[in-house]
Structure 1
Amino acid sequence: MLSSTKRCAALAADTASAHPTHARETAQGRRWVIVASLFLFMMINFADKAVLGLVAIPLMHDMQLTHGQFGLVGSAFFVLFSISGIAVGLIADRVNMKWLLAALALIWAVAQLPLAWPTSFAVLLLCRVLLGAGEGPASPLALHVVYTWFDDRERNLPTAIVQQGATAGVIIAGPLLTYISQQWHWHATFLTLGAVGIGWTVLWLCLGKTGNRQHNASPAFAVEVAAPRAVSLRCRRMLSDRTVIGVMLQCFVGYAVVAIGFTWVPAYFRLGLGFAATQAGWLFALQVAAQIPLGIALAMVSHRMLKRGVPSKVARGKLISTACVVSGVAYCSLLFGAPPFVQVALMGLASALAIQTFTFGPMLVAEVAPAARRGALLAITNSIVTTAGLIGPVAMGKLLGAAGDARGYEIGFAVTGTLLLIVGAAGFALIDPQRSKRRMESIPA
Structure 2
Amino acid sequence: MLQIEQTVAATHAARARNGWATVAALFLFMALNFADKAVVGLVAVPMMRDMGLSPAQLGIVGSAFFVLFAVSAIGVGWIAGRLDPTWLLAGLALVWVAAQLPMIWPASFATLVLCRIVLGAGEGPALPLAMHVTYEAFDDRRRSLPTLIVQLGATAGLVLAGPALTYVEQRWHWRATFLALGVAGVAWVALWLAVRFAGAPRMRVRAAAAPRAVTPGWRVLRSHFGSATVLTVLFQSFAGYAVVACGITWMPVYFRLGLGMPPARAGWLFGLQVLLQVPVGFALATLSHALLRRSVSTRIARGVLVSACCTVGGILLCVSFASWPPLAKVALVGLACAFATQAFTFGPQLVAEVVPGANRAAMLSTVHALATTAGLFAPALMGHLVASTAGSRGYEAGFGAMGALLAVAGVAGFLWLQPAKEGRGTR
Same fold (TM over 0.5): yes
| Aligned partner (choices 31, 35, 42) of residue 47 of structure 1 | 35
| 1:258 partnered with 2:247 | no
**What is the SS of the residue equivalent to 1:93?**
helix
Alignment of 1:77-96 (within 5 A): 77-96=65-84
Find the counterpart in structure 2 of residue 6 from structure 1. none
Partner of 1:65: 54
Q: Residue 314 of structure 2 aligns with which residue?
A: 328
Where do 1:165-184 residues align within 5 Å? 165-184=153-172
1:306-317 equivalence runs, <5 A = 306-317=292-303
- How far the C-alpha of 1:57 sits from its partner, in A, is 5.4
Which of 349, 359, 377 matches 2:345? 359
Match of 1:416 in 2: 402
C-alpha displacement at 1:56, in angstroms? 4.9
Q: Find out whether 1:376 has 2:335 as its counterpart.
A: no
Within-5 A mapping of 1:138-287: 138-208=126-196, 210=203, 212=206, 216-218=210-212, 220-221=213-214, 224=215, 228=216, 231-287=217-273
Shift of 1:74: 2.9
Moved more, 54-63 or 233-242: 54-63
Provide the alpha-carbon RMSD of the alignment: 2.7
**2:286 corresponding residue in structure 1:** 300
Deviations 1:406-431 (A, max 9, x none): 44332222211111111111111111
Q: CA deviation at 1:275?
A: 4.2
1:429 alignment partner, one of 406, 415, 418: 415
Deviation at 1:236, TM superposition (A): 2.1
1:349 aligns with 2:329: no
The change in CA–CA distance for 1:414 and 1:65 in structure 2 (over 3 A counts) is farther
Equivalent pairs, count: 418
Task: State the Cα distance separating 1:287 from its structure 2 match.
Answer: 1.0
Q: 2:348 & 2:221 partners in 1: Cα distance?
A: 17
Identity level (%):
51
Q: Counterpart in 2 of 1:10?
A: none
User: Whole-Å Cα distance in 2 between the matches of residues 55 and 42 of structure 1?
Assistant: 21
Q: Match of 1:408, SS?
A: helix
Give, in whole Å, the separation in 2 of the partners of 1:243 and 1:193: 38
Does the CA contact (< 8 Å) of 1:215 and 1:372 recur in 2? Answer: no
- Equivalent position amino acid for 1:314 in 2: I
Distance 1:122 1:398 in 2: 27
Conservation of the 8 A alpha-carbon contact between 1:255 and 1:388: yes
Equivalent of residue 101 in structure 1, options 89, 96, 101: 89
AA of the residue aligned to 2:30: M
- Report which stretch shifted further, 397-406 or 196-205: 397-406
2:239 and 2:208 map into 1 onto residues whose CA distance is 30
- 1:290 is paired with a residue whose SS is helix
Q: Flag structure 2 segments of 5+ consecutive residues without an equivalent.
A: 198-202
Could you tell me whether the CA contact under 8 Å between 2:229 and 2:418 is conserved in 1?
Answer: yes
Q: How far apart, in 2, do the equivalents of 1:16 and 1:279 lie? A: 61
CA shift, 1:48, in A, is: 1.9
Amino acid at match of 1:199: A
Q: Distance in 2 between matches of 1:438 and 1:41?
A: 33
Aligned amino acid, residue 161 of structure 2: A
Provide the rounded CA distance (Å) in 1 between the counterparts of 2:207 and 2:303: 24
2:17 to 7, 16, 29: 29
Pairing 1:386-405 to 2, within 5 Å after superposition: 386-403=372-389
Shift in CA distance, 175/53, structure 1 to aligned 2, threshold 3 Å: same
1:251-288 CA distance string (max 9 Å, x none)? 01111223233333334334434444444433222211
Secondary structure of 2:296's counterpart equals: coil
Measured in 2, the distance between the counterparts of 1:188 and 1:274 equals: 33
Q: Using a 3 Å threshold, how does the CA distance of structure 1 residues 308 and 25 change in structure 2: closer, same or farther? A: closer
Asked if the contact 1:175/1:281 (under 8 Å) is kept, the reply is no
Q: Which TM-score applies when normalising by structure 2?
A: 0.89
Q: What corresponds to 1:137 in structure 2?
A: 125
Separation (CA, whole Å) in 2 of partners of 1:335 and 1:195: 44
Offset at 1:404? 5.8
Question: Given residue 222 of structure 2, which amino acid in structure 1 is its aligned partner?
Answer: R
Give the Cα separation in 2 of the matches to 1:53 and 1:102. 26
Local SS of the residue matching 2:320: helix
In the alignment, is the contact (CA less than 8 A) between 1:400 and 1:409 conserved in 2? yes
C-alpha distance 338-251 of structure 1, shift in aligned 2 (>3 A): same
* Structure 1 contact 71–394 (Cα < 8 Å) conserved: no
- How far apart, CA to CA, are the structure 2 residues paired with 1:214 and 1:345? 48
Separation in 2 of the partners of 1:96 and 1:215? 12
Q: Distance in 2 between matches of 1:158 and 1:44?
A: 18
Which residue identity lines up with residue 34 of structure 1 in the other structure? Answer: T
- Aligned equivalent of 1:3: none
Say if 1:65 and 1:272 are closer, same or farther in 2 by CA, change over 3 A.
farther
- Out of 124, 133, 142, the position equivalent to 2:112 is 124
1:333/1:263 CA distance change after superposition, 3 Å: same
Moved more, 300-309 or 120-129: 120-129
What is the alpha-carbon distance in structure 2 between the residues aligned to residue 339 and residue 181 of structure 1? 36
Q: Is contact 2:317-2:400 (8 Å) kept?
A: yes
Distance, in Å, in 2 between the alignment partners of 1:303 and 1:217 is 29
Aligned to 2:200: none
Residue 217 of structure 1: SS of its match in structure 2? Answer: coil
